[in-house]
Amino acid sequence: MPVNRPLAAKKTHIDRIIDEDYGLTRLIYAYAACASYWLVFGSILGEYLGIRFAFPDFGVHPWLSFGRLRPAHTNVVFWGWASLGMIALALYVVPRTSQRKLYNERLAWVSLGMINISVFAGVVLLMNGVSNGGQEYREFIWPVMGLFVVALLLLTYTLFQTVAKRIIPEIYISNWYIMAAFLWTIVLAVTAYLPWYQYGLSETVIQGYYMHMGVGMWFTPMVLGLTYYFLPKLLNKPIYSYSLGVLAFWTQMVFYSLIGAHHFVFSPIPWWLQTVAIIFSVGMFIPLVAGTGNFLLTMRGSEGTIARSYSLPFIFVGVIFYFLASGQGTFEAFRSLNRIWHFTNFTIAHSHMTMYGFVSFLIWGGTYGLLPRLTGREPRHVLVGVHFWFALVGILIYGFSLMIGGTEQGENWISGAPFIDSVKVLSSYWLWRAIGGSLMLLSHLIFAYNVHAMGPQAAAKVAA
Amino acid sequence: MNLNFHENHRLLYGTVFFGFVVLTVIIAIGPALWVQDHNRPLQRSRPLTEQEQRGLDIYVSEGCLYCHSQQVRPLDVDSPFGRPSAPGDYARLKPQDLWRMTPGLLGTERTGPDLSDVAARQSSATWNYIHLFEPRAVVKDSVMQAYAWMFEIKASPGPDDIVVPVPPDYAPPGGHVVATQKAKDLIAYLLSLKQVPIPGSTTETAQPRGGGAGTTSEMGARIYASRCAGCHGQYGGGTPGVFPPLKGDPVVTAPDPSRHIATVLFGLRGKTINGVSYAVAMPAHKSLLSDAEIAAVINHERTSWGNNAPAVTSEDVEKIRKEGKEGSD
């Protein structure tokens, strides 16, 4: 159908994979659909919380209180949206690159149920004022997080067996990252929840380790591993350098593990621990440059393919945000800059640049690249475009308003002005944040609709 | 045996798993155990009472820690919040119960002020109750959540009820605002947040606590903002019917400053000013601020918002401090 497209390049259609396994397709779609529901729910919470800064008296029921819903927002987008969204793609990539069927589909269905129950129960408990009492991402009480970890164990077992029974001798680089993410996250969660070494300030030592690596040893390696599959696949060419991927992998594991304490610079935790964290934060440039460079060099020369694809632009943006946001994290660790930015809204900008600009964009790219191939159902290209631009413009407004606002907030404190001045300074930036956040929320509604449009059931109906 | 990571999945994933376990012990569990074994509660600190402990539980479950840190860094910018935090400040914290872990109070964001030493800055329970019920009744530009659901509205409060004197603009129609047990527990916890001196530290008395750098008039304005404005208003207007205005107040504008100085030093309660009787006590500042700081903040009050009274010196403050409370009247 000829359409007048004044604003965008015409996008290429995606062909269905002929020999795909319908059972696996249903499983992957179920994960992706649940992820998209959690994304919509989590961002409604986020939008509500953002509006609260402009209208603090809006919603006085205890269930709607800011302090209860903030952890609900962060945990839903962490464990509900991004985790399920990544696992959906991993359930395809690991069997595909091992040239084996998924070892046990039923276990993966059980895991999906357990993760949904865990996130749902965690949110209901938080809204009722039952919080574990930790700081970020450790608010689910241990029985709830325990269920999540058991689900991860089942998935790890299934995926490990799939790799173990692979036909080709080589373990593809994606499976290094993806399997490592599962193994690391299990260690991480168990370490974070055992109580014996967490009395007094020791809780904070573990919190630095945990909140940092919850992002950097779960989401980061997983989406990087997925990108090592989807980017060359969608571009139809090999990755620029396999060795760079291996170098980035080992340096990520060693350097990233050591830098959690940089979330508590100038705190009373041991000074040497903070210094080690700051030094290795600089070391993070090695995996960062190796990873980003590898992806960008793979893309070089394929600009036309990227422009004609509706999934690759998401991956491109995700890679750029990976570089910007991780680099930003290193700078925030320096004592001179930490002095200005710590405790300010700059931190909130940073966490959204990473979890949204980087992690979420890569998940979207993979989802749009994979689902139509599995089901033969494409989303309407224009709606994918609207999703892309709303999300991108939204995160840019969100990120820049809080980076600038956070810097002004920090400068305001240093100037010695009365504390309430720093609240007033932020009010216009909070308004911009809510505007950016609204665009992001709209884009998620469209994404959820697009996922629905790519669903296998819809395909079955059309066939019938 | 194939020692190639690319082909031996057991070797690859074994290295990845056990390598990370070793790193975890080195960077997290080891240091955590060390910190735990090397820190005791500070000598002059005390455990929380049962009520304060219940208040801490509410503090955690309501997520107060997302906006309020309890971590004073050894930086000038943090000096209004107290002395730098020490590991001993947290040494009494332990897992709350079988289900919930040790509360993580240090915080990562400071949308509201740090609370490590908040009871020293704002010791008035009444102010805290009003602020909890509706923050904007006492801090106009606050964006804090209103915890109205921690209060009941009663037409005729009983003799044991804590009736909160909410200013008329914010008072709900049809009765008095009465604190529930939750509000009482939470405020009890907040009022327990007072830093104790670190043994052998010189920062206890030598450093000006509220001031920091700058000229005397800047210091006065800064102390006023952090310690006085909560009740008396950023522009000296007070909180109607609850905390008296300082703008145009007869004591603040009197040529003889001795009563003004005595009020700041020793506090005051049950005073009637311009026909309005104020039931809430004003806290004493004699152990919180130095003579120079008190002189600076008094001068700020005597020369701001249209007030125009003669200035005082730190010697004037020192004299009245020595005379004591009785001598001042």
All structural domains of chain A with their residue ranges: 19-171
**Tens of pLDDT, residues B283-292:** 888 888 888 8
> Are the C-beta atoms of A136 and A212 separated by less than 8 Å?
no
**Tens of pLDDT, residues B184-221:** 999 999 999 999 988 776 544 434 444 445 577 888 88
Average the pLDDT over A436-461 and give the result. 88
Backbone angles phi, psi at B181, to 5 degrees: -60, -40
d(CA B299, CA B290): 14
Q: Do A253 and B16 touch (CB under 8 A)?
A: yes
Pick A206's closest partner by Cβ from B20, B28, B92.
B28
- Within 203-242 of B, beta carbons closer than 8 Å to A belong to 212-214, 218, 221-222, 225-226, 229, 234
Angle at B52 between CA B50 and CA B58, to 5 degrees: 110
d(CA B283, CA B276): 19
Q: What CATH superfamily is the domain B50-190?
A: Cytochrome c-like domain (1.10.760.10)
Classify the phi-psi angles of B306: left when phi > 0, otherwise alpha if psi is within -120 to 50, otherwise beta: left
- A177 alpha carbon, distance to own chain's centre: 15
Q: Do A56 and B136 touch (CB under 8 A)?
A: yes
Hey, is the C-beta of A248 within 8 angstroms of any chain B C-beta?
A: no
Average the pLDDT over A25-30 and give the result. 96
Instruction: Compute and round to an integer the Cα radius of gyration of chain A.
Output: 22
H/E segment holding residue B277 = strand B276-278
3-state secondary structure of B90: helix
Name the residue type at position A27: L
- Give chain B's end-to-end CA distance (angstroms, integer): 93
User: Is the Cα torsion angle B179, B185, B186, B189 positive or negative in sign?
Assistant: positive
Cβ neighbours of B98 (radius 10 Å): 8
Angle at A58 between CA A55 and CA A63, to 5 degrees: 135
Chain B residues touching residue A423 (CB < 8 angstroms): 111-112, 141-143
> Are the C-beta atoms of A49 and A28 separated by less than 8 Å?
no
The pLDDT score that the predictor gives to residue A2 is 46
Q: Do B103 and A141 touch (CB under 8 A)?
A: no
Q: How confident is the model at residue A5 (pLDDT cuts 50, 70, 90)?
A: low
Name the minimum distance, in Å, from the CA of A30 to any CA of chain B.
28
The pLDDT score that the predictor gives to residue A457 is 62
**Tens of pLDDT, residues A317-327:** 999 999 999 99
Check if the interface score ipTM surpasses 0.90: yes
| In the predicted structure, residue A160 carries a pLDDT above the cut 70 | yes
d(CA B50, CA A9): 67
The pLDDT score that the predictor gives to residue A18 is 66
Q: Is A289 exposed, middle or buried (0-12, 13-18, 19+ CB in 10 A)?
A: middle
Cβ neighbours of A394 (radius 10 Å): 23
Instruction: Compute and round to an integer the Cα radius of gyration of chain B.
Output: 25
Hey, is the C-beta of B70 within 8 angstroms of any chain A C-beta?
A: no
Picking from B142, B146, B139, B158, the residue whose alpha carbon sits closest to that of residue B229 is B139
The pLDDT score that the predictor gives to residue B217 is 81
d(CA B18, CA A424): 50
Strand partners, A343: B109
Q: Do B225 and A70 touch (CB under 8 A)?
A: no
The full DSSP string for B137-163 is: GTSTT--PPP-GGGEEEESS--TT--E
Q: Is A376 exposed, middle or buried (0-12, 13-18, 19+ CB in 10 A)?
A: buried
The pLDDT score that the predictor gives to residue A7 is 62
- Within 418-447 of A, beta carbons closer than 8 Å to B belong to 418-420, 423-424, 427
Average the pLDDT over B19-25 and give the result. 96
H/E segment holding residue B178 = strand B176-179
CATH for B216-328? 1.10.760.10
> Are the C-beta atoms of B250 and B94 separated by less than 8 Å?
no
Strand partners, B277: B272
d(CA B17, CA B7): 17
Pick A180's closest partner by Cβ from B16, B86, B94.
B16
The full DSSP string for B17-56 is: HHHHHHHHIIIIIHHHHHHHHT----TT--PPPHHHHHHH
Hey, is the C-beta of A135 within 8 angstroms of any chain B C-beta?
A: yes
The pLDDT score that the predictor gives to residue B291 is 87
In this structure, chain A runs to a length of: 464
> Are the C-beta atoms of B95 and B109 separated by less than 8 Å?
no
Pick A187's closest partner by Cβ from B21, B34, B84.
B21
3-state secondary structure of B282: strand
Name the minimum distance, in Å, from the CA of A64 to any CA of chain B.
10
Cβ contacts below 8 Å, chain A against chain B, sum to: 264
Chain B residues touching residue A133 (CB < 8 angstroms): 60-61, 96, 100-104
Name the minimum distance, in Å, from the CA of A57 to any CA of chain B.
6
Sort strands B176-179 and B151-154 into parallel, antiparallel or unpaired. Answer: antiparallel
Residues 6+ apart with CB under 8 A from B246: B228, B232, B233, B236, B238, B252, B301, B305, B307
d(CA A225, CA A90): 9
- The percentage of chain B sitting over the pLDDT mark of 90, rounded to a whole number, equals 52
Cβ neighbours of A49 (radius 10 Å): 19
Residues 6+ apart with CB under 8 A from B73: A266, A267, A342, B84, B85
Hey, is the C-beta of A55 within 8 angstroms of any chain B C-beta?
A: no
Q: How confident is the model at residue A95 (pLDDT cuts 50, 70, 90)?
A: very high
Give the DSSP letter of residue B176.
Answer: E
- Within 167-206 of B, beta carbons closer than 8 Å to A belong to none
Hey, is the C-beta of A271 within 8 angstroms of any chain B C-beta?
A: no
What integer best gives the mean pLDDT of chain B? 88
The pLDDT score that the predictor gives to residue B205 is 42
3-state secondary structure of B273: strand
Name the residue type at position A197: Y
> Are the C-beta atoms of B84 and B37 separated by less than 8 Å?
no
What integer best gives the mean pLDDT of chain A? 93
> What Cα–Cα distance (Å) separates residue B279 from each residue in A351, B121, B247, B282?
47, 20, 19, 9
Chain A residues touching residue B16 (CB < 8 angstroms): 176, 179-180, 183-184, 253
Name the minimum distance, in Å, from the CA of B106 to any CA of chain A.
8
Hey, is the C-beta of A141 within 8 angstroms of any chain B C-beta?
A: yes
Q: Find the Cα–Cα–Cα–Cα dihedral B283, B285, B287, B291, rounded to 10°.
A: -170
Residues 6+ apart with CB under 8 A from A433: A50, A53, A397, A398, A401, A402, A405
The pLDDT score that the predictor gives to residue A390 is 98
Q: Find the Cα–Cα–Cα–Cα dihedral A22, A26, A32, A35, rounded to 10°.
A: -160
The pLDDT score that the predictor gives to residue B327 is 42
Average the pLDDT over A398-427 and give the result. 95
Residue A217: both structure tokens together: 């040893």
d(CA B225, CA B304): 13
- Within 352-391 of A, beta carbons closer than 8 Å to B belong to none
Chain B residues touching residue A342 (CB < 8 angstroms): 73
The pLDDT score that the predictor gives to residue B174 is 84
Picking from A367, A366, A240, the residue whose alpha carbon sits closest to that of residue A295 is A240
Residue with tokens 């403050």: B317
Residue B177: both structure tokens together: 């605002």
| In the predicted structure, residue A172 carries a pLDDT above the cut 90 | yes
d(CA A316, CA A166): 30
Range list of β-strands (E), A219-293: none
